Amino acid sequence: MSEKSPLIEVRDLHQKFGVHHVLRGVTTHVNRGETLVLLGGSGGGKSVLMKHFLGLLSPYSGQVIVNGEDISNMNERQLGKVRRATGMMFQNGALFDFMTVGQNIAFPLREGGVKDEDEIRERVLECLEIVKLPGQETKMPADLSGGMRKRVALARAIVDKPACVLYDEPHAGLDPITGDSIDHLIKDLQKNHGMTNVIITHEMRSVFRIADRVIFLKLGQIYWEGTPEEMKASSDPELLDFIEGVAREVTIS
Ligand SMILES: Nc1ncnc2c1ncn2[C@@H]1O[C@H](COP(=O)(O)OP(=O)(O)OP(=O)(O)O)[C@@H](O)[C@H]1O
Ligand SMILES: [Mg+2]
């Protein structure tokens, strides 16, 4: 696969749940090494779209191409192979409460068959450094703040050195300063570890700070696509309405 080809391509993707037509012909792509943000109102189909990138949902119609391979109709075994080869990870915020921080972070390595305990320990400590939580490996998740738990979840997502991480609302429930630290981490992973990031967020401050490109989904279609600079300069009423609406919610809450 050429280094220049997109990591993920989506062609005329439709998804329906019963009569509910959620995705209505989405065509887009994710470039290797970029930070792409998915924006849009609640229920617009952002999480559903992201799940297709990993094959967690299969299309009603259309194609999802990852690393040049059509994953639309793959079985779990084939999908597992693609996920390992591309190193695509879903950053799931839920930690195992009965495991220490270190055990949580080591989990994907053990699942993946890594047996060397020294190597596991080294990787866990390295990831805790990256997420700025050194020395926290013996703590239990219940003893951490919400922001720290998010960072541990991020450490777990990157421990197997993925090429791409998908984040569904990594800023949700965080205060602005903790949210900022997540942004720094995301940018650090991109710059210093060559990672591709796909992020769903409602935090416009973060969007302007971290995005290379933005996709605005509305009613299951791509309504607007461009850079944060182009978004700032845009006079599109729907887009402005959305940005102002999000800003208003932040002020009220
Ligand atoms: N597995 C499912 N079964 C049935 N309906 C679903 C399923 N997943 C999502 N939906 C519906 O699809 C629509 C889009 O959902 P989605 O979760 O993608 O929205 P979203 O853009 O991520 O919204 P939010 O910002 O609130 O997270 C919603 O109406 C949701 O109820
Ligand atoms: Mg969602």
Over the stretch 202-234, which tens digit does the pLDDT of each residue have? 999 999 999 999 999 999 999 999 999 999 999
Ligand 1 atom closest to 48 (CA): 18
> What is the value of pTM for the model shown?
0.90
Name the closest-CA residue to atom 13, ligand 1.
Answer: 43
The C-alpha atoms of residue 130 and residue 68 are separated, in whole angstroms, by 31
Name the closest-CA residue to atom 19, ligand 1.
Answer: 43
58 Cβ closer than 6 Å to some ligand 1 atom? no
CB 113 within 8 A of CB 181: no
Interval 29-69: pLDDT, tens = 999 999 999 999 998 999 999 999 999 999 999 999 999 99
Name the closest-CA residue to atom 24, ligand 1.
Answer: 42
Give residues whose Cβ lies within 5 Å of ion ligand 2. Answer: 47
The C-alpha atoms of residue 38 and residue 241 are separated, in whole angstroms, by 16
Confidence band for 126, pLDDT divided at 50, 70 and 90: very high
Nearest Cα neighbor of 62 from 52, 51, 76, 54 is 52
What is the layout of strands, in order, in the sheet containing 61-66? 20-30, 8-17, 61-66, 69-70
171 Cβ closer than 6 Å to some ligand 1 atom? no
User: What is the distance in A from the centroid of ligand 2 to the CA of 121?
Assistant: 34
Confidence band for 252, pLDDT divided at 50, 70 and 90: low
245 Cβ closer than 6 Å to some ligand 1 atom? no
**203 Ramachandran zone, left/alpha/beta (phi>0; psi -120 to 50):** beta
Name the closest-CA residue to atom 27, ligand 1.
Answer: 42
In the prediction, which pLDDT does 2 show? 63
